[in-house]
Structure 1
Amino acid sequence: MTYYESTGHLLLTPVDREAPARAVRLRELGLGERADPELDAFARRVAEVLAAPYTGVNFIGEERQFFAGLHHAPDAPPSGYPARVLARDHGYCPHVVVRRRALVLQDVRDFARFAGNAVVDGSGVRSYLGAPVTDRRGVVLGTVCGADVVPRRWGTEGLAAVKELAAELVDLLHAREDRRS
């Protein structure tokens, strides 16, 4: 579904009606407020699997995004991306969360909705691949994602891999929750 402001302009970030429930669930799980070494390690693994220079485990709150897991390859091209905290209207992960399905962008500049995003000009991101992290209650907590500063074909293999990684992350988060119970 496409959302417009009352002025008739296309919203770059879709309306997120599930944000309040997600924020409560993230607090219950203790996610989205601090860097997490285990999730940083998971993001490194995502980088290896996807061969992507920038990867993350991103939790989407009501007002911002927080990369609790983050990896920037040492030999990656210079870029301001990723940062631990991004505004909700930056990047592509909020689209994945609201749509509740994976997003593959070979070249973000090929799509008007995504080409105007602040991470394109501010950080040089040109391609993106992300999958939703949906917990056992059906709440989409955030994403597992990869990005590059050059256009690239992620292919069906990349799409399958990022979905599998998201499922692995859900298992990890559920195991943590079960240990605390």
Structure 2
Amino acid sequence: MTFDSDSGLHLPTADDELDQRIDLLRQLGLGDLDDEFDRFAAQLARDAGEPYAMVNLITHEQHFVGLHTPPGSEFPVVGRTMPRDHGYCPDVIARRKALPLPDVCAHPRFAGNAVVDKIGIRTYFGAPLIHQPTGTVLGTVCFVGTTPRPLSTGQASLQLIKERANTLMDLIHQRAPRIHCPRP
């Protein structure tokens, strides 16, 4: 990430893996909506105790191939795509590691994200989906909520999202036997 001294913020860098990611997603047969990914997201949302969970493949925009949104009108509806500059998953892609934000508003850089105002997001936990052996980040798995979490829940939530990222990569590898995808 690049530090912008004028704004005092760390800004995402260019996505050097974009072309490789798009090719790999095509080879793996990923990118289409999938009931299995939706079920995965729904189970993650239940286990995390949060209203939203996503399996997000990032190309020129974010594609939620797995999505769980809460039923009812109490929560805003989230669509299947979102611009790359919305949300926190692009930061996970750039970092190449999990991003725990028990309270996004506690961090000025993250508090100004469009999803805070549009959807009311106050907590975010996301982890990268890293393809082995290429090391390419395919996307993310995340859960988000509309109320901040106590900091004391951070480690358990971080562990949950990391475990689910590993489980999801195992699922992706099983679904794409034509590509050599050994687990590390």
TM-score, length-scaled by structure 1 = 0.88
Q: Which amino acid aligns with 1:151?
A: P
Indicate how the Cα distance of structure 1 residues 11 and 84 shifts in structure 2: closer, same or farther if over 3 A, else same.
farther
Alignment RMSD: 2.1
2:8 matched to 1:40?
no
State how far apart, in whole Å, the 1-side matches of 2:45 and 2:147 are. Answer: 15
2:130 matched to 1:134?
yes
Residue in 1 aligned with 2:143? 146
Q: Give structure 2 stretches of 5+ with no counterpart.
A: none
Equivalent pair of 1:13/1:89 in contact (CA under 8 Å): no
Equivalent pair of 1:12/1:89 in contact (CA under 8 Å): no
2:2 matched to 1:2?
yes
What secondary structure sits across from 2:176 in the alignment?
Answer: helix
Q: Give structure 1 stretches of 5+ with no counterpart.
A: none
2:109 matched to 1:113?
yes
2:64 matched to 1:64?
no
2:101 matched to 1:102?
no
Residue in 1 aligned with 2:53? 55
Deviations for 1:153-178, whole angstroms, at most 9, x for unmatched residues? 34211111110010000000001111
Indicate how the Cα distance of structure 1 residues 83 and 13 shifts in structure 2: closer, same or farther if over 3 A, else same.
farther
Alpha-carbon offset, residue 17 of structure 1: 1.6
Dislocated runs of 4+, deviation >3 Å: 7-14
> How many pairs does the alignment contain?
176
Deviations for 1:126-166, whole angstroms, at most 9, x for unmatched residues? 11000111111211111110000111134211111110010
State how far apart, in whole Å, the 1-side matches of 2:75 and 2:119 are. Answer: 9
Alpha-carbon offset, residue 12 of structure 1: 4.9
Indicate how the Cα distance of structure 1 residues 18 and 180 shifts in structure 2: closer, same or farther if over 3 A, else same.
closer
